[in-house]
Structure 1
Amino acid sequence: MGIRFIKISVVYFVIGVCMGMYMSMTEKFDLSPVHVHINLLGWVSMALAGLVYVAFPGAAETTLAKVHFWLHNIALPIMMIGLACLVSGVESAGPAVAVGGTLMVLGIILFAINILKNIKN
């Protein structure tokens, strides 16, 4: 599971960097919140979770790890597409941000429970 997290985190890293380059070239920074969240929740958080799971394979083999992976990867696109629409003026996109954000928080809580439960001295 750890390797899956690391590999998909690199995809989010490329997306985040390309967004940053696009904003820089066009000098339009309206999507900065999306850029930041993709880099933080996509690249950094997933890469770190992957490294934790590589270091502690017992935690990586749990159902909690699998559910965390899928919640994170379902929630992030929903939240980011919703946020992109919201900052672009589509006020009706608020529920997508809320649903994606809620799923993201649930995934991160499951990660925390997994770590606290399955990583021992």
Structure 2
Amino acid sequence: MGVRLIKISVVYFLIGVGLGMYMSMAHNYTLTGVHVHINLLGWASMGLAGIYYHLFPQAGESKIGTAHFWLHNIGLPIMMIGLAALVLGNASFEPVVAVGGTITTLGIILFVVNILVNVKSVGR
């Protein structure tokens, strides 16, 4: 699971940097919130979670780890598509942001629970 999260995090990194470059070239920063969330919740958070799961394979191999991976990777794109549409003026996408954000948050809560339950110090 750790390697999967690290690999998907670099895809989010490429998307986030690409979006940032587009905004810079177009001198249009309307999608800054999308850019920031992709980089933080996609690149940084998933990359760090991947490192944790690699260092503590019992957490990465758990059912909670698998659920975290899928909820995070289903919720984040839904939230980002909804947020992009919302900031571009389509108010009807607000519920999409809420659904995607809720799914992502549930995934992150599972990550926290997984770390607290399955990560033990060496020698225990």
With the length of structure 1 as denominator, give the TM-score of the two structures.
0.99
Corresponding residue of 1:58: 58
Q: Which amino acid aligns with 1:80?
A: M
Inter-partner Cα distance in structure 1 for 2:41 and 2:107: 11
Q: Which amino acid aligns with 1:106?
A: L
Corresponding residue of 2:77: 77
Asked whether 1:27 is paired with 2:27, we answer: yes
Deviation of 1:118 (Å): 0.6
Residues 54-101 of structure 1, C-alpha deviations (whole Å, 9 max, x = no match): 000011110000000000000010000000000000000000000000
Corresponding residue of 1:109: 109
CA RMSD of aligned residues (A): 0.4
With the length of structure 2 as denominator, give the TM-score of the two structures.
0.97
Deviation of 1:13 (Å): 0.1
Q: Which amino acid aligns with 1:29?
A: Y
What's the % identity of the aligned pairs?
A: 65
Query: Which runs of no fewer than 5 residues in structure 1 stay unpaired?
Result: none
In the alignment of these two chains, the number of paired residues is 121
Residues 23-73 of structure 1, C-alpha deviations (whole Å, 9 max, x = no match): 000000000000000000000000000000000001111000000000000
Inter-partner Cα distance in structure 2 for 1:105 and 1:21: 28
Asked whether 1:94 is paired with 2:94, we answer: yes
Corresponding residue of 2:42: 42
Inter-partner Cα distance in structure 2 for 1:59 and 1:36: 28
Corresponding residue of 2:5: 5
Deviation of 1:120 (Å): 1.2
